[in-house]
Amino acid sequence: MAVADEFGVLTKAFTGLGVDEKSLISILGKWHPEHKQSFRKTTCDIFIEDERQFERWDDRHVQKLQQEFLRFKDAVVLWTMHPWERDARLLREAVYKGPNYGILVETACTRSSEELLGARRAYHSLFEHSIEEDIAFHIHGFEKKLLVGLVSAYRYEGPKYSEEVAKSEAKILKNVIKDGAKKLHEEEEIVRILTTRSKLHLKAVFKHYKETSGNYLDEDLGDQLILKQTVQCLCKPETYFTEVLDVSLKGIGHGFAKEALTRVIVTRADVDLKLIKEEYHQLSGVTLSHKNEEIANGNFKDFMLTLIAR
């Protein structure tokens, strides 16, 4: 391979999700000093020309690269964790490194009642206090009310619900959204409905909302992102996770956005990843496997592809 071609391969190996370890070893292992110097001089997004006339690593890229080397390890650790511990640690990180409302909502709303209770128990064991008190202390306003209610819910999972009550609550939601959810008692009604009703009941509520308003509820919520995420996670989780993957795989944002690929695939591989893959294909026009093949690297890419193919 020509040196110029090797520069391109190496630049790709240093970027994206994960690190292409095989390319790093095969190319760097045979380079002479002049090759390394030429690479530093021609890769200005990784190296900076210092005022004392040498090319030095951009500190931000060093930190990024260290994170990418850890990405495969983090994915393996997350995959092998007990689901209760995994969710407890995701919740903790979402509170203390954010807050990231999306992760709090998805963990609280896409797990079964027993799974969420297990995560709360694990949180007690790992951190010696409750997720409820952490959210109540670190998050404020309407978001605190909603999130405390969501993580502490133990929803009925049976087949029964009242059609009349569902119609009544659809009307309540329609009036709240029409008025902009400004009044306290109306906010409390939103919290009551979203945090206490069964998912089957809520699907009926949202169906009646569509019939009377002409729009889907999550479409009418506009920029009220936390409410939109809650509605999607409770009744259309595959739509929520597809949108999260789309943002992550487009490379939009940093931190939680990039980590979302690992989180979604690892936590949904044994649940509903088949539905998520189908919806992602419809949304983006490419398969989830193909997109991962395109942007991910090395052992991380191989592990993600293995989970996606399950």
Per the annotation, does 214 bind a ligand?
no
- Residue 18 in marked binding region: yes
Q: Is 298 annotated as a binding residue?
A: no
d(CA 216, CA 220): 7
Identify whether the C-beta of residue 119 lies closer than 8 Å to the C-beta of residue 91. yes
16 assigned to a ligand binding site:
yes
| Contact assessment for residue 61 and residue 100, using Cβ atoms and an 8 Å cutoff | no
Please report which residue ranges of the chain form alpha helices under DSSP H: 3-13, 21-28, 33-42, 59-80, 83-96, 101-109, 113-127, 131-138, 141-151, 163-179, 184-196, 199-213, 217-220, 225-235, 237-249, 256-268, 273-284, 288-295, 298-308
Count CB-CB contacts under 10 A for residue 65: 16
User: Which residue type occupies 256?
Assistant: F
Of 231, 190, 240, which is closest to residue 207 (Cα–Cα)? 231
Q: Which amino acids are annotated as binding site, given as ranges?
A: 14, 16, 18, 68, 253
Q: Which residues carry a binding-site annotation for Ca(2+)?
A: 14, 16, 18, 68, 253
